[in-house]
Structure 1
Amino acid sequence: MSRIIKFAKSGGPEVLEFIEMQVAAPGPAEVRIKVKAIGLNRAESMWRNDAYTEPVKYPAGLGYEAAGIVDAVGADVTGFAVGDAVNVIPSFSMNQYATYGEVIIVPAYAVVKHPSSLSFEQAASAWMMFVTAYGGLIEDAKVGKGDFILIPAASSSVGLAAIQLSNYAGATPIALTRTSAKKQQLLEAGAAHVIATDEVDLVQEVMRLTDNKGARVAFDPVGGPNFPKLISALAFQGIVYIYGALAEGDTPMPVLAMIAKMPVIKGHNIWLTTGDETRRKAAVEYVLKGLENGALKPVIDRTFKFDEMVEAHRYLEQSGQFGKIVVTV
């Protein structure tokens, strides 16, 4: 028997339920894992509220990331054996698979060997943050020396990953945060510059830092009423990746500024990378190399116990963390 977490209706953290179930055998091309740690993501809060990119099928599980030990493998699974330490990479619908459980079953393609340099807690937090940022900044934009990168919500786990990956590629990360409260932490995390957007004029400050050239890339999980300022802060024909909707509500399109700047605006999510075998393998190789040489390092804000998952979700929704929230099992 094993406990998993499900919810039968959308709502706040209190809808999460612990359910004891018989442990099933993995099917063909599936891996069963005894979980040691789970990484929490904003997507799972949205999923719980039935406000994500696909409708929820009830009763629903949730969770994209985990680290643990292989407990069993299904037919046709190669490369993994019982006892292997592994991680789960977000690359499936939560209507099909989920990671909030003591023992979970996931598709073999979503499983990678555990990086020896990381703890289970660190590994459970690494893949969503680094592969999401990798897909936009490295795989698509191919950022490098001379590029300035605007990173809104920079103290989020993906924001911190974007800072690290920008530095790793030789680009210059400019962290955006609402107030100066986290400025020093962001500088210590690798940001070349930090702009407190509630305290100074974002566009003027970006132009000052870039010698009036603007930023080549903005990697934005916020959207909302400040989005036009990102367009104005871009270089000519710059790129904006929108990978979240933290601001909720509508995101205005500044038509005249867009005609002047001629930007490329792209919706972005991790599935573009992890949903393709060749791209997924390239991403894993790139991130593993960065983890091994120390250029990339997960940042954990706080850990909770599995029994505290409801409280962990409440903390997640306060949006005050610096880095990742992890649940230990």
Structure 2
Amino acid sequence: MSITCRVVRFHETGELDVLALENITVEDPVDDEVLFKVDAFALNRADVLHYQGFHTTLPDFPSRLGSEATGEVIKIGANVTDFKVGDRVTSIPFNTAKYGVQGEYALVPQDYLTKAPENLTIEEACSIWMQYSTAYFALFHVGNVKEGDFVFVPAISSSAGYGCFELAKDAGAMVIGSTRTSAKKDDLKKLGIDHLIISSEESVEKRLMQLTKGEGVSFVYDPIAGNFCNEYLDALSMGAVVIIYGLLDPNPTPYPLVPLIRKKAVMDAYSQFNHVEDIDKLNECKAYVLERIKKGILKPKVSKVFDFEDYKKAYEYMLSNQQVGKIVVSITHKQ
């Protein structure tokens, strides 16, 4: 039996006004699919790139949106073995245009779901996987970050930046964050970020070299790219790895051949979508993150919660760059 529900959808790429709440029919799950009633979903910069047409995943019109949601399982496909009706689940981002979770109901393959951790709120539970899986594969599969390494995290007030901070610090690295202005400085200090650079007020390169006592940083987790790369390239240590995972600077990102050669460094065009397709690696990530959430080592930071009807205000808030942590939209289901 199919279900009619409201979802966030778009029929062409463009700015925020291409998004609309529309009624659609959600079919029953087949094979390994799980259908769940969404209680809350989280916003990500990847969602903005998706509706603008700049994401690596191209939309299949009319396209649903979103990859992180939490809710209750109501139906399962014939091949589903990991979940049952009534389970509370949370979804993991993956690279497909077929699925989207921003709406009253969502359909997701079982590999890209986990049980929602019992020690998290609904809003926190839908805020886990984009930030932690993106950072996990970057830190440990690409960057090989280990205890004692110096890690630089620009835009550390974002959920992705904060997730990297938590994972790297747990691994024993010294984490240095940056933020553009001092507006979020106090909030970031309260979150335990001791080493913070205000990039509009001081030299990023000089502060990185001071904080690392001249050694330089061995890993950079950069969502800005563009011209910002030039602010830290001369503060890399030998053999450093630079992860470019975002496009906050709209300017083209030049390939800095000479600075990279000087430091025997690597600049990686990175997406977690290229890693979660490997189910063995994905399961490794799930176990690692969930164990640390259970122990209280990791805890998603929720910046602000919006009502479903105000989802565009949620996106406007994201685009304003005021948030420290994740932006979540809560859904109240009418009986």
Matches within 5 A, 1:26-175: 26-93=29-96, 95-175=97-177
C-alpha distance in 2 between matches for 1:253 and 1:18: 40
Shift in Å at residue 184 of structure 1? 2.5
- Amino acid in structure 1 at the alignment position of 2:289: V
Q: Match of 2:304?
A: 302
C-alpha distance in 1 between matches for 2:192 and 2:134: 18
Deviations 1:232-284 (A, max 9, x none): 11101111011011101211233332221121111111123311111111101
- Contact (CA 8 Å) 1:167, 1:190: kept in 2 or not? no
C-alpha distance in 1 between matches for 2:86 and 2:206: 55
Deviations 1:100-144 (A, max 9, x none): 110111111111111111111101111101110111113332322
C-alpha distance in 1 between matches for 2:10 and 2:286: 31
- Residue 317 of structure 1 aligns to a residue whose secondary structure is helix
- Residue 22 of structure 1 aligns to a residue whose secondary structure is strand
- Contact (CA 8 Å) 2:57, 2:95: kept in 1 or not? no
Q: Which of 299, 311, 314 is the matching residue for 1:312?
A: 314
Q: Which of 287, 290, 300 is the matching residue for 1:288?
A: 290
- Residue 314 of structure 1 aligns to a residue whose secondary structure is helix
Q: Match of 1:208?
A: 210
Shift in Å at residue 173 of structure 1? 0.6
C-alpha distance in 2 between matches for 1:91 and 1:52: 12
Runs of 4+ in 1 over 4 A off after TM superposition: none
Q: Which of 2, 9, 13 is the matching residue for 2:12?
A: 9
C-alpha distance in 2 between matches for 1:300 and 1:112: 19
Shift in Å at residue 296 of structure 1? 0.7
Shift in Å at residue 327 of structure 1? 0.5
- Contact (CA 8 Å) 2:180, 2:200: kept in 1 or not? yes
Q: Which runs of 5+ in 1 are unaligned?
A: none
- Residue 214 of structure 2 aligns to a residue whose secondary structure is coil
C-alpha distance in 2 between matches for 1:29 and 1:255: 45
Q: Which of 8, 20, 25 is the matching residue for 1:22?
A: 25
C-alpha distance in 2 between matches for 1:5 and 1:254: 39
- Residues 139 and 192 (structure 1 numbering): CA distance in 2 closer, same or farther, change over 3 Å? farther
Shift in Å at residue 187 of structure 1? 2.4
Q: Match of 1:327?
A: 329
Matches within 5 A, 1:213-224: 213-224=215-226
Shift in Å at residue 317 of structure 1? 1.4
Q: Compare 229-238 and 159-168 and name the one that shifted more.
A: 229-238
Matches within 5 A, 1:268-279: 268-279=270-281
- Amino acid in structure 1 at the alignment position of 2:158: S
Q: Match of 1:196?
A: 198
Size of the aligned set, in residue pairs, is 328
C-alpha distance in 2 between matches for 1:146 and 1:111: 33
C-alpha distance in 1 between matches for 2:118 and 2:322: 30
Matches within 5 A, 1:199-278: 199-278=201-280
Q: Compare 172-181 and 62-71 and name the one that shifted more.
A: 172-181
- Contact (CA 8 Å) 1:164, 1:296: kept in 2 or not? yes
- Percent of aligned pairs with the same amino acid: 36
- Residue 320 of structure 2 aligns to a residue whose secondary structure is coil
C-alpha distance in 2 between matches for 1:65 and 1:240: 26
- Amino acid in structure 2 at the alignment position of 1:262: K
- Residue 90 of structure 2 aligns to a residue whose secondary structure is strand
Deviations 1:23-44 (A, max 9, x none): 4211111000000110100111
C-alpha distance in 1 between matches for 2:279 and 2:46: 22
Q: Compare 9-18 and 169-178 and name the one that shifted more.
A: 9-18
Shift in Å at residue 229 of structure 1? 2.3
C-alpha distance in 2 between matches for 1:195 and 1:235: 18
C-alpha distance in 2 between matches for 1:328 and 1:322: 18
Q: Which runs of 5+ in 2 are unaligned?
A: none
Q: Match of 1:187?
A: 189
